[in-house]
Chain A
Amino acid sequence: MKTFSGQFYPSYFSPPSEATLLLSDRTLSIGFHDQHGNPARQDWPLKEVQGDFLFAEQRSRFTQTNTQAEFRVAGREAFEYWEEIKAEANKSWFRKKRTGSLRRTVALLSAMLLSGSLLYFFMVPWLAEQMATVVSKKTERQLGDSVFEAMKSTQTEDTMATRVLNDFFNALAIETDYSIRITVVKDEMVNAFALPGGQLVVYTGLLENMETYPELAALLSHEFVHVEKRHATRSIFRSMGSDLFVTLLFGKSSGLATLVIGQANQLRTLSYSRSLEKEADLEGYKLLRERGIDPGGYDRLFKHLKDSSPGTEIPEMISSHPDTDNRMQYIREAARGQVVKEDPQLRSIFAQLKNK
């Protein structure tokens, strides 16, 4: 922005008046006094202005192309500055110094959004997964055990059922580097979960509903896959990674944006959790298939889960598990044509649980 003093010619025939000129990359304004002596101002759109240098007069001249009004100022300086402004305006949008251009802003924003989402959706999870694989089994076990110990004090164990379930799992003869320890907790909740490193916790509420041994086999194989595929450890690293990324980008300021971003991040974590549950279902089912155990166990297991919470089906998008009907569906599809054979050993162990 520069200012000058010079002469203003409102039209070709009118006499000049002393006037001021403001020249910037956005506007050209002229302050002058009209024929009655009142102060006035004219703003000329830059597109309608022509600038040149009058060599004979040694003056810079600006002409409004529509009205033919002129402003003249002594010296070359104004004209040179005008050339600078025009050169800047004619530069391609990405070389401009100022950030006024909409196209440039939009392009920059979309480039940043793109790279940001690439980072968020691919790089961060990938790095987190890499880090999770570095964690040793020993560390996983320590992590799981410390959670288990903290939880244990508030729960009562069903020692008899615990023994039976461990026997049952050993009878399944699943090969693994983890030492799987199952604990049955007295609680009406219809639930079970796996901790990193091999601790499986099953609530009696879920066992009471079971009628046949394939259901138990389905449950244990599902939870076993969570351990074997390090689902808990991977989830921890992934959510830590994306939390860190979001905090780095958006800061920890509290505000509407943070709230929205936090929720979106949460949804993403849930979607990952659903994909892990599906993996556990399908991989767990494979273990049953190898042993010729009835895949209907999964079906009935899911049915218990569904019955335990009637009318509280939440939309899959905001749930940590896939929709129960979906789970039944993909297991049924996977189980098509499977040969089922009875396993007397598993059956008798399961009977101990029911006859206690």
Chain B
Amino acid sequence: MILTTTASIEGRPVQEYLGVINAQSIIGANMFKDIFAGLRDLIGGRSKTYERVIEEAKEDAMRELTQKAQSMGANAVVGIDLDFETVGASGSMLMVIATGTAVRI
């Protein structure tokens, strides 16, 4: 299984296009992480707590994308695009959308 952001895979021509797939994950940082991040904002520096939340959301979206591709019988996903967006009333939730094309190579 190859996952890539490029449109084609070097030396492995696409044999069959199985369709565009996407997966999303929306994750709330939770109140306490917000507090820690708020303190970070106050004193400056990298906010590991928020970074971890983004990482987690990205992992979830990618895992789901891969599983969808597997269900379609794909053995690669090309042209993957990751979108990050905040949602929720105060923008405190993070949304990650992974889009890609499931193919057989």
Contacts and interface: CB of A to CB of B under 8 A. Distances in A.
Contact of B59 (A21, A24, A30, A249): A24
B67 A39 contact: no
B101 interface: no
B32 A41 contact: no
Contact of A5 (B1, B52, B62, B72): B1
Nearest to B73: A39
A20 interface: yes
Contacts of B15: none
Contacts of A40: 71, 73
A96 B73 CA distance: 34
Contacts, number: 75
A22 B63 contact: yes
Contact of A1 (B38, B62, B71): B62
A24 B75 contact: no
A1 B64 CA distance: 11
Interface string A24-65: 101101111100001111010000000000000000000000
Interface string B67-105: 101111111000000000000011000000000000000
Contact of B35 (A27, A41, A249): A249
Interface residues of A, number: 33
Interface residues of B, number: 25
A256 to B, nearest CB: 10
Interface string B17-30: 00000000000000
A21 B32 contact: no
A257 interface: yes
Contact of B73 (A31, A99, A249): A31
Contacts of B74: 20, 31, 39
Contacts of A21: 1
Given A3-B2, A251-B38, A33 B59 contact: no
B72 A98 contact: no
A31 B38 contact: no
Interface string A97-116: 01100000000110010000
A163 to B, nearest CB: 55
A40 to B, nearest CB: 7
8 contacts: A1-B66, A20-B70, A22-B66, A24-B59, A27-B67, A39-B72, A109-B32, A248-B38
Interface of B: 1-3, 31-32, 34-35, 38, 42, 52, 56, 59, 62-63, 66-67, 69-75, 89-90
